[in-house]
Each structure stands twice: as C-alpha cells, then as structure tokens.
Structure 1
Amino acid sequence: MVAILVVFTAVAVTQFDRLRINPSFNDYIPGGVGNHVYMQKLDSLFGGNEKIMLILTNGHGIINPETFDRLTKLTDELADVDGVERCMSIRDVLEIKLEDGFTSFDPIITDISSDSVGLANLGKRLLTNEMGKRFVSKDLTATAIILSKSPDVADNKIVPDIQQVIDVNPGDDQIYLGGLPYIRQSIKSYIKTDLLTLLPAALVLMVLMLYFSFREWKGVVLPFVVVILSIVFSFGLMGALGWEISLISVLLPIMLIAIANDYSIHLINLYQEKYREGSVTGLKEIAVLINRELRKPIVITALTTIGGMLGLLSHKMAPAAQLGILASFGIGTALLMSLYLVPVLLTFYRKPKVNRQENEGKISLVDRILNRFSTWISKAPKTVLGTFAGVAILSVGGMMLLKVDTNVESYFTGKSDIKKGIELVNQKFGGSQYVSVLFAGDVLAPETLKRMDEYTQKMETVSGIGNIISPSIFMRELSKGLNEPGEPGYGQLPQSEAEAEQYLELISMSGYEGQVSQFIDYNYQHARILVSLTDGSNQTGKKVLKALKDMTKGDPNVAFIAGPGLSKIQIADMVIQGQISSMILALLIIFILLTIIFKSFAAGTKGSLPLLLSSLFLFGLMGVLNIPLDIVTALLSSIMIGVGVDYTIHFLWRYKAEYIVCKDRSLAVTKTLQTAGRGIVFNALSVIVGFSALIFSSFAPLRFFGVLVVVSIFACLICALLLIPAIIVVYKPKFLEF
C-alpha cells in the first residue's frame, strides 16, 4: 500500500510543471455567445478594446514643467512597448482652429513655462477642450496616460514592461495603474501569494485543532498525511488535464484540508472510544473493529460529499465545474487512504496513554454542550422545531435583499496601490471599463451622425457614464478648423457624407489618424460611441446597458452594444443560473443517496431538510449583511450541502444502531449525541478551522467565503445535533426503527 502511494505521489508531482495561472474573467464565459462574440468583432474593427491607465498625481498640481517632462518621456517610451496599440496623453490633445484661411491642428501643449498666469490659462483650456477633459482631473491634480492593449499580447508580458518604463523614469509624482489587464495581472500575483500563504496557515490550524481534539500525535499525523496526499493528487490531476489555476482554484487545497481529514477523524475518535471502554485492548483488533464499524457510514458520507461537489458540474463557468471534479477526486482518494491506510498505520503506534480513573467524573465542554442538547430535545422537541421554523421564515426575508455582483474591482481591499489606482481612475477619469455602441452601414451619412449626436447628448445625462468618445463630438471639433467662429458650420456636424469624409481626410493628412481609428474604421463602414463606466459594479453596468438599449432601440444602424465593462453582467447571469442549478442538483443527488442508503423516501426528505434550512439561513444572512453573490460565493451551496450532509448521516446511522439496542427514542438520541455527536463536532470543527484560513486571503470574495463557510457549516452542525433529533422524537420515522 505504501509503495503504491509513493509511486502515485511521484507521478502526480511530475505534473506540477504543467500548472499555469489564468486570472482572466472573460475566460469564464463560454466562447461563441453574447458579449464574448461581440468583443471579438470590436477587436477586429478597432483593435484592442481594453485600456490600461497610468495616473500621475501631484497634490500641488500636474500643470508644471517637471511633470510634463516626465509625462513626455513616459508617453514616448510606452508607445514602443510591445502590445501597446495606442498611447495617448495630454500631449496628444489638439486645438483645432482656422487662422488666416488655413486649418491648424496644433497640440494644446508643447512645453510648460513656470509663469503662473500661463499655467492657469493652460489648465482652463485643457478643461474646456473635449479631448483634454479625458486626460486631466477637474482639480488638475492628476493626469492620465491611456494605453490601448493589443488582444494578442498577454497581461504578464505587457504589464511588467509598462512597470519597467515607469521605474526608469522616476519623479516626484505618484503613479498608479488601472484597467482590466492590470487588475488581472494583479489577481494572478495575489493568487500565487494566497497559495503560498493560505496553504501553510490552514495546515497549521488543522494540526492545532487535531492535537487539542485527540491529545495525541497519531491523531494529528495520520489525518495530516491523508490531507497532503489528497492535495498532491488533485493538483497532479489538474496538471495532467491541462486545467489552469483560477481564483476559484485557490479554494481547492483549503477545501481538502477542511474535508479530507474528516474520515480519519471519525476513525481515530472511535479508536480512542474503544480503547477507553477497555473491552478490546489489542491495537490490531481495534484497527479491524473500527474499520468494520465505520466503513459503511464513511463510504456513504464520502459519496454524499462527492455528490454535493458534483453539483458544481451544472455551472457554465468552467473553473467551477473543474473545482467540483478535482475536489471530488481529492475526497475519493482521502476516503481510500482513510479506510485502508489509517487503520494499518494505527497498529504501528503505541497504545494510547489513557488513565481511566483520573478521567472519571470529568466532562469536557463538548460533552456538556451535547448533554444540554439532549435535555432540550427530551423536554421540548416541538419548541426546538418551532425555533428552526422561525429561523427559516426570517431567512427567506433576508434572501429578498440578496444581490449579485461580479465586479472584479471590488476584489481588492484596504489601502493597496491597486485599490488606490482603481479609485483614482473611477473618481477622476470616469472609469477604465468601456462599453461600445457599434453602428454599421452609412455611418458618415448626416442622418446617422445626427442620431449619434442625439445619443451622445442623452448619454451625458445618464448616471454611471463617465467619459464619452463619439464621432459626433469629434466632427464638431473638426468643424472648428474649417469655419470661423460665428459662421454657420462652426461647431456643427457636416451636412453631407462627402463633407464628413473631407473632415476625416484632413485629420489623416495632419498625422492624427490614430485618434480617429478608435471610433471609425478605415473604410467608413463601422463607427462606435465609446462610454466609460464610473465604476465596475453590476448595478452600474446594468443601468448603463439598459439606458443605451432604450435610447437606441429601433435604430437600423445599431449593430450591438458590447464591451469589457459588460462581461461581468454575463458572468452574473451565469452565477445566478449556476447557483440555482448546482443547489438543485446537489440536493437531488443527496436526496437520492439518502433514499437508497436508508431505503426510504422519508429518509431522503428528512435528511435533506437540514441542508435546505442551512441554505436558506446562509443566503438570508448574506442578504442582511449585504454580502453579494459572486463567482466565489456562488459555490457555497454545493460545498455546504456536500459537507453538511455528513453530520446528518453519521447521526442517523448511529441512532439506528442505538435504537435497535434500547428501543427508546429519547435514550437512543442521548446515546447518539454522547458518542457519535463528539465525532460530528470534531468533524465540523475541522472543516471550520480549515476554511477559516481564508480570512487571510488577499481577495475580498475569498474572505467572505471563509466566513460564510464557517457560518454555514455551523448551521449544518446545529441542524444535525438539534433539528434531526427533534424530528426523530416528534415524528418517529419508521426507517430508523427496523
């Protein structure tokens, strides 16, 4: 057995080199549908749609010679970075005017003097220029360099290159980065950090919990070995299948630390119980006995846990489905090792040092709590049931407040540079996540440009929209270079398609065609209005999307509305569908397994009730505490159902054995709480301690997940130790009495 494990471990480790981290959230969306397809179309027409923003901040103001010199160097060098399709800053802002009959396209700023009057005048000109407003904050304390990223270049290539340019151009201004590519690269870095910190933290917590539970090292070492091997095998399988590590994958080792030791815990708990009884003293005899008594309930609980995990297969998000498979595989390997390795290894240890006389009359805290539960159930079982019913009703009310938010910007907390950069981009520059309204056909026709202009004016009044880049705005600016102030055409849209083409040819001949290419394609068959979202929340995204659809409804030239800023909405819909389907699938699997195990539909119904109630309580609490359902917390129900059902099964299995002996329900409940109840509590504590390591995560969703798992597992534990016994006493289920 040991030799086989060594071979399989070596094979699994060889697959680690194939593991890669993929922080992209667009990859969660299946290809060929919705926003994903539209984004590919936009990329083919206008190049990269994702933006990276460098924000230079200076409390004394950014209109000064030193800042401009540094910004000039940064702009020039960043334009040469591989993967940067366009690089624009205040240096690219133009003043278009007609002088002495000639049209001039002059940069609004070529150098900056130290003259205070000139500086103030320059600041006003920037803030009143349609292009300039994109690159400076209203208080003139920050300026932006906006980079368009090529879709063919990886984040981990372009972001370090940008950072290198920043490093070789030092200055007094503070620089922050923003934009989805930078956020994804930061997530990738944080995933590495989490894997390197959370895994040891969870293992240390598990070791401490096991030692204080069993008070002997065999109760620590054996579950520890099982957990480590299950993690190694699962990540080896991930590498062998070519699956990538995502934010969701960070949960895998934590889940296995919390769950994979459960079966060993029950074996060691019964091992100590048998030895304390004194009826059997030989270690080999005890090992055989505990294996025989617990083999069936352990296999059953493992299968139900795997069944709950496989509920994740209903998710359309590939990482969620992959997590279900990998966790199930890890749990399956832990089951086999617990049944066939742990009992064997127990025989090599010395006998436990248990002084029965000293322990007589001493009752542990766990035993006192279990005795109190027994008293409540014996005296007032209906009151217990009524209390749980009241909690269920309140939970349903809390669920009405539950919201869904897949905003990646909210994943970072505290005062990190990433969080600061996100806040600066959103507050001072209208956001870095863009949405495009794509027009197709005669986009330079006067009637089409007029509708674009009307939409642009309406968009300026929509809450949640930051900057707007529109062909109509650009055309109005160009007209100032062809008409004198006061003339009919000054600041107006072209009156014919030929005139519009003349405008664009004029800007192209002046060397600024790159500014046009971001919203009109080269053959004038497609155009778009670009709007930025003031924040990355689903609420803002949905509100802006609805407003854009309402105002463009029925327009024959509007092809679609899409953009990186809308991907999260599609992910949110997948989260809702995945949460509902995975929960239904997990409960259905558990219902079927319980029905088969106890050969009764009543067993399936009553055994699933604690899981349903715990789910209601969990989502109700999330609604009350304003914790959103996101790509991580959407996995909660399947995991909770898969883990929480174990406690119910262990209780029912032991109760049935006790009732056969005593034929008294209350006494059987008390006996079950005093024996199997202890192992159930240790099992739940193991899961709670394992998942509590997530509170140290770099990501807000994982922290919330850690807290919520603790709450949900505790709810499952209370249901198993109070609700199930109360149901037994009140309703006297027949499937437990034969």
Structure 2
Amino acid sequence: MDRFRALYDRLILPNPAWVLVVFGLLLALAAVKFGQFRLDASAESLVLENDRSLEQYRAVNRRFTTSDDFLIVTYSPRDELFSEPGLADLRALRDELQALEAVGSTNSILNVPLLHSEALTLDTVDTEIKTLDQDEVPPDTARQALLDNPLYPNLLISEDARTTAIQVNLPTPERYFELLGERNRLRDKAAAGEASDAELAQLETASDAFIRYTERLGEERDATIDTVRAILEQYRDRAEIHLGGVPMIVSDMIRFIQNDLSTFGLGVLVFLVLTLAIIFRQWRWVLIPMLCCGFTVWMMVGFLGWAKWPVTVISANFVALLLIMTLSLTIHLIVRYREFQHDQPDAEPRAILSQTLMAMIKPCFYMAITTMVAFGSLTFSGIRPVIDFGWMMTLGLTVAFLITFLVFPCLIALLPPPLDARVTSDRVPFTDAFARFTERFGTTVLVASAIIAVLCAVGVSRLTVENSFIDYFKDSTEIHQGMITIDDRLGGTTPLDVVITDDPAPESATGDSDPFASGCDPFLDDCGEAETYRDTWYTYQKMRKLGQVHAYLDSLPETGKVLSIDTTLDILAQINQGERLDALELAFVPAAVPDDLQDVLLTPYISEEHDQARFSVRILETMPELRREALLNRIHEHLTTELGYEPDQVLFTGMTVMYNNMLQSLFDSQIKTIGVVFLAIMAMFLLLFRSLKLALIGIAPNVIAAGSVLGLMGWLGIPLDMMTITVAAITVGIAVDDTIHYIHRFKTEFSKDRDYLATMHRCHRSIGQAMFYTSLTIVAGFSILVLSNFIPTIYFGLFTGFAMFMALLGALTLLPRLIVMIKPFGPTDTD
C-alpha cells in the first residue's frame, strides 16, 4: 500500500495535467484503428468451438451445387395472380430484381418448366417443356400445371395459388472459397503444431485477406439488399410482400447489433447521466464518471480494431457492460470521497483524494479480479462467441480498473469538488432501513432466503434450451413476418440436409463380375437383396429405399417441403403419363434429363462422384412443438433401424444442425460456467479474507442472485439462448462486487468497537449507499435494452436488471444477517 501511496503522491497527483496528456496520446493511438472495428453475424460466429458442422455444411453445398445464398421475395397480389395483369406485375418485379449487378439469376413461376403439354414424354422432354416467360401459356393452364408439379407447391407457389416466391440468387464468388480454403488449411496446420514460421506468417496474411474480402462482400450484399428493399417498396401498393433468406437475416442481425451498439450505448449513457445527476446533484460527479466510462469504451473499441477482433451478436453488449462496470468503480470512489469530506470538512482536497484512493484501491482491485474471473469462466462454454465475449470483458475490466484509478484522480485533482449541504448533512441515509429490517426480522430474512433458494432450484430444473429462431425478433420486424409467411405458405424456413452415403460394395463384388450371373436382370427386375452391386444410385432397389426415406421425412409434422431424387422421379413419372419408371428406365435417367435441367433435377440430390444422395428439408420454424434435438434423433433412429442404413452412412448438415449443436451445448455450458465461477470466487474469497466462514458467507447471496434469474427463466418457460446463457455468470461477477465491498468495510468498521449490530448500521449508512447507487444505475442502464429489436438482448437487459436487484437485496439483508449470526470476525467485547 505504501508503494501505491508513493506512486500517487510523487508522480500522479502532482502532475495530473501531464498524466492526462500522455493518456490522450493513448486515446489518439486507439482511435487510429476505429475503422477496423467490425461486426460479425456470420455462421462462423454462431457455432461451437471446433464444430465441424460448418465445414460439412459448406462441403455438401458445393458437392451438390446448392446454396443458401439467396433472398426469398414472397409475393401475394391483392388481385388475381394468375391473370395477364397479375403475371405482368410479377414479371416487372422479377426483371427489376434480376437486373441488379450482384444477382446471378432468379427462379420464379415465370421461368420454371411447366409439365402440361399432352405431347410431353420422356422422348420429347427437350422440345415440349414450356415456360410462362418463353411460351404463350394461358394463366389458368399455368396455374394448374404448377400445382400438379411435385416440385413447385410449397416452394415457389402456395397450395391456394395466392402466394408465390421469387428466389433471388446471390452467388458467392469463387474467390471467397479460395481464401477460406487457404486460411483453414493453414489454421489446421497451426492448430496441429505443424506450421513453420513462414506458414504462420502466411496464416496471418491469409486471415487478413479473408477478413477484408468478407467485409467487402458483406458491404456489397448490404447494398444489394437495400436496393432490393427499395424495389419492393414500389410494389407494396399492389401486393403483400415480404423479404426473407439467410443473407437478409445476416444483414439485419448486423444492423441490429450496430443499432444496439450505438443507440443503446448512447441510451445507457443518457440513463447513467440522469441517474448520477439525480443522486449526486453536482456536475463534476456527472462529468468525471462519464469521462472514465467513455475513455474505457474508446480504448476497447480501438484495441479491438488493432487486434482485428470482431464483435458478434453476443459480445455486442460489451459497450453497455463496460459503461456500467466502470461506473460501478467510480461510484464507489465518489461515495468514499464524500464520506471523507463529511468526516474531515477542513481537510485539503488532495489529502481527501489520497485517502480515498488508498482506502478503495484494495477492495476495487479485489472486485475487478473476481469479476474478471466470472467473465473468464465464459471461456469454458465451448461456444465461440461466448468465449470471445468472456475474453473481451476480462480485458475490458482490466482497462476499466486502470483508467478509473488513473483518470479519476487526475480529473479530481484538476477539478476538486466543493462541499455541499448533502455532504455535510448528518441525515441518516435511507439504506439504514435495510439494517433495521435485518436486525428486527433476521429469522424472516433467513426463512425467505431458504424459500427463494428452493424455488430457484425448482425453476432451474425446468430450464430448457429449445427455442425458435423466429422468437429472436419482434413481431414488427421483417425477419419475423417473412418467416411466418414462408413457413405458412411456402414450405418452411430453416434448412436441413440429410445426406445418405451409398452402401459399400460387398466383399465378394469385383470389378469384372457378371451382373446377370444371379439370374436377375437389375435393369428390368427388382432383384431385392440379390441385386448385384453396381456403382450407381440409379437402380430399382436403391431408388425404392431413397423413396422410403423421402416419404418418412415428408410425413414428419415438423417438416415442410422435402426435396430429393424422389421428387425428380415423381416429375419424370408425370412426364411418363403417370407411370413410375421401371428398372431399365431408371438406369437411363441421367441421360434422359436434358442438360439444362440437370442442375435442377439431378445434381442437387445425387452426387455419383461421392456416392451420396441428399434430401433437402425445410423445418417449420414457427411450430410451437418444435424440438430440434429430438427430431434429429428420431430421424437418425428411423433411418438406421427401420431402413437399415449404418450410422456412419447418415449425415445431417445445414443451419438447423449448427443451431441445434449450439443450443444443446447451452445447458451443459451453463453448468460449466456457473460451476467454474463459484469455485473460482470461493478460491478468491479464501485468498482475500483468509477465512472459510467468510468465503461461505460471501458466496451465499451470490448463489441466490444467480439462481433467481435462472429459476425465473425456468418458471416463465423462457429457454436458454445465446444471450441468456451469459446472464448468470455476469450476475455473479457484478453481484460479487457488493459482497467484497461490504465485507471489506465491515472488517474495517468492526475493529472500531467490535459490535456486530453497530457495525452493520454503519456499513449500511456508508458502503450501503454506494452499493444501492451502483445497483440503481445498473438496473436503470440495462432497462434501455428492452427497446431492442433483438429479443435475446431484451431478455439480457431484463434479467440482468432483475438479478442485480436480487443481488443488492441479498447483500443488504442476507449477507449482514449471516455475518451477525455466525460472527466470522471473532467474538464481541461483551461475549
């Protein structure tokens, strides 16, 4: 402590202006990289650490020449769609969208082939297929042809033919995949410890190139989406139009993050200014804390820019959290400073400042360390964005502590606050009411705490992790409205790919074996189990088995549109006058399908090169009973037990799988993070207080605070999600601040008269005020988050505010009651 006093007395307090000048240079250096600060709402930012599902998803998309890089425009005209004016309006809209530079192509009822000609057969398919774009097809005929086609209903047209969709394809340039592949190759080599110094340098270069290219691609996508929205606006007087698709969702999520960072960061700042002005009634006690908060955020934004460390959906709240955590530190300093002013009204401002710093640096350091431990525990979650959030906040708290104990004293030295009536008043603070209540109703406090603990335990047991992605957005948002329309009328929103790998060749099969040796012709007959192995999917037995998979997937209530090679066979059967293809015709399907239809009817579903068949499934995201994990397990069990596929032959990919992997890890992750938090804080308490009794006493109100928020979520049926998983750990981290300050002050005050009750009253009148003001500002600050369009952010704000209220209540009632009852500081003088 003497070293700190010497540092302040000799270097900082005598030269506050020069210290601020040097600090200003650091702020300028941080500002240089503000332009590198970026947001990330890509698939990579929402997956588990080391989750290979994203790579599998990309590989399957490239293998089957399919992609989710498209926008969906749902179009429900106010008048009849299948009329000359209705189709003309749709065509005009389609043409405007297709003319955009970033649009590779569009798919709609206007350009897809119609199967209505009586002359259409397998032999004439090249010449007899017609489209609304290129041929004179009567609207009523086109309507019926589209509804009769197995491919289009619930995909491009609703079953009542009132709603149609335009698929606006935004192809990802090949350069993106080249850069991604190079980065991943070097990253894997580095992770395995096999990369040379030159390859590590190449990895940094490749990562930078990939980030720059991705940012540029994102900016171009955003501009395209804005242009699409402007085009759609011109048609809204004639039709009900919604925009959907993965690129739009990503773009809007980034916009929501930007809005939360700017609007809510500013909103939190305004709330904090008002709260400080109401509490302290002095402009210095508003300006100085706000400068400390602003400088902390400034430095962190600059650091993230220098480090090229993106902010994700989860870590977007780091601005609000840093503002509040920094403010918590400064409020404790302000309250302590004013206490010394009250006790020593004639003392020099610099002497009071020195006393304040020496009295508060130790508990504030302990507070910062334990809060860092709480946020650091998030690195055990296994979820990449949660891990990043933990590290960001750990670093941010370090910056907050250093700035508070550097900038705050310098500003106070330059702008010493005068005495006012509120400081010199001997009025008993209202926080003493909590002490009187605890003294009088101590048993009630213990019983109520036990009841709350039981209710929390029951609530935690009711927690779930299943939720719908649509529930992340308010009803008024375009994402929400578009998802409902697509789910209800166009076959589902969230993609799931089920990939089947072909049966391996029997050991007896040889390359020159006679396929007719068994007496069964595999081209003409259903040879059943006796069918000779041939390296092709287009055999009767294999297609029949794939048809069974398709029928099962289509029968599930959670699935909407299901597409596979079986859909293609249904189309070919329709062309074949309603007759299913026999074994010989199946063998010639690849040759029978025209080249210009191969990418529509064959390659999205069969990869002969990789011996795989793909089923494209759309999940009904708005279904209340949707349970992704149970659905995937049920599908896997049916395919492996009922249909006889080996477990390693069945692969699930797609956004549904990656999102489900993240969700299912949440509960386990929550247990891990909370367990690590409490163990680490217990260890910190033992180290700080050198007493097991005090450690256990200190942890009790924090357990109830964390348990209350999780228990309330369980009782209300609100599932864990990407944001709420962090609330419990954050709550403990913030709530433990009150515990440390209170115990530290209690120990100091108790040494004066060794009277537990008198000490409790003195602590409530002093540190109790700081705790109350801090909690009040936190609750007020987080309340602004309810205005977000992102529902997890709203939950984050509400539950964090509620948890802080519970933490304050516990620190002002349960904590002092346990101290008075257990007497961890030894007996009183009268004992």
Q: TM-score, normalised by structure 2?
A: 0.81
Residues 6 and 162 of structure 1: CA distance in aligned 2, closer, same or farther (over 3 Å): closer
Distance 2:26 2:466 in 1: 41
Greater shift, 33-42 or 83-92, is seen at: 83-92
Partner-residue secondary structure (3-state), 1:232: helix
Contact kept in structure 2, 1:552 and 1:558, CA below 8 Å: no
Of 42, 47, 58, the residue aligned with 1:40 is: 58
Distance 1:67 1:249 in 2: 46
Of 82, 99, 110, the residue aligned with 1:63 is: 82
Of 595, 600, 621, the residue aligned with 1:514 is: 600
Partner-residue secondary structure (3-state), 1:580: helix
How much has 1:166 moved relative to structure 2?
6.5
How much has 1:42 moved relative to structure 2?
0.5
* 2:773 alignment counterpart: 682
2:573 corresponds to 1:479: yes
Distance 2:374 2:259 in 1: 29
How much has 1:293 moved relative to structure 2?
1.5
Distance 1:701 1:60 in 2: 39
Q: For structure 1, which runs of at least 5 residues remain unmatched after alignment?
A: none
Partner-residue secondary structure (3-state), 1:565: helix
2:527 corresponds to 1:527: no
* 1:590 alignment counterpart: 681
* 1:132 alignment counterpart: 152
2:471 corresponds to 1:410: yes
Contact kept in structure 2, 1:651 and 1:676, CA below 8 Å: yes
Partner-residue secondary structure (3-state), 1:504: helix
1:642-681 aligned within 5 A: 642-681=733-772
Distance 1:511 1:501 in 2: 17
Q: C-alpha offsets along residues 607-644 of structure 1, whole Å, 9 cap, x if unaligned?
A: 11211111111111111222221111111122111111
- Which amino acid in structure 1 is aligned with residue 244 of structure 2? G
Contact kept in structure 2, 1:61 and 1:140, CA below 8 Å: no
- Which amino acid in structure 1 is aligned with residue 74 of structure 2? I
How much has 1:319 moved relative to structure 2?
2.5
- Which amino acid in structure 2 is aligned with residue 677 of structure 1? G
Identity over aligned pairs, percent: 21
- Which amino acid in structure 2 is aligned with residue 703 of structure 1? I
How much has 1:469 moved relative to structure 2?
0.6
Partner-residue secondary structure (3-state), 1:234: helix
1:275-424 aligned within 5 A: 275-278=341-344, 280-355=346-421, 359=425, 362=427, 367-368=429-430, 370-405=431-466, 407-424=468-485
Greater shift, 176-185 or 73-82, is seen at: 73-82
Of 154, 161, 164, the residue aligned with 1:143 is: 164
Distance 2:773 2:120 in 1: 88
Residues 44 and 123 of structure 1: CA distance in aligned 2, closer, same or farther (over 3 Å): closer
How much has 1:676 moved relative to structure 2?
1.0
Greater shift, 653-662 or 534-543, is seen at: 534-543
Distance 1:35 1:626 in 2: 29
* 2:519 alignment counterpart: none
* 1:545 alignment counterpart: 632
How much has 1:650 moved relative to structure 2?
0.9
Q: C-alpha offsets along residues 93-122 of structure 1, whole Å, 9 cap, x if unaligned?
A: 4316663875345236458999xxx75565
Distance 2:87 2:225 in 1: 18
How much has 1:709 moved relative to structure 2?
0.5
Q: TM-score, normalised by structure 1?
A: 0.91
Distance 1:558 1:84 in 2: 36
* 1:430 alignment counterpart: 491
Distance 1:337 1:645 in 2: 21
How much has 1:506 moved relative to structure 2?
1.9
Contact kept in structure 2, 1:470 and 1:529, CA below 8 Å: yes
Greater shift, 155-164 or 543-552, is seen at: 155-164
- Which amino acid in structure 2 is aligned with residue 371 of structure 1? D
How much has 1:651 moved relative to structure 2?
0.8
Of 158, 161, 165, the residue aligned with 2:224 is: 161
* 1:17 alignment counterpart: 35
Contact kept in structure 2, 1:381 and 1:729, CA below 8 Å: no
2:555 corresponds to 1:555: no
Q: C-alpha offsets along residues 240-280 of structure 1, whole Å, 9 cap, x if unaligned?
A: 21111211232111001111121211111122122223454
Residues 161 and 70 of structure 1: CA distance in aligned 2, closer, same or farther (over 3 Å): farther
2:554 corresponds to 1:460: yes
Distance 2:763 2:779 in 1: 22
How much has 1:606 moved relative to structure 2?
2.0
1:244-259 aligned within 5 A: 244-259=310-325
Greater shift, 629-638 or 321-330, is seen at: 321-330
* 1:713 alignment counterpart: 804
- Which amino acid in structure 2 is aligned with residue 657 of structure 1? T
Distance 1:175 1:335 in 2: 51
Residues 539 and 46 of structure 1: CA distance in aligned 2, closer, same or farther (over 3 Å): same
Distance 1:192 1:100 in 2: 54
Distance 1:228 1:110 in 2: 59
Of 259, 262, 273, the residue aligned with 1:196 is: 262
Residues 295 and 31 of structure 1: CA distance in aligned 2, closer, same or farther (over 3 Å): closer
Contact kept in structure 2, 1:94 and 1:108, CA below 8 Å: yes
* 1:49 alignment counterpart: 67
2:158 corresponds to 1:95: no
Distance 2:271 2:225 in 1: 40
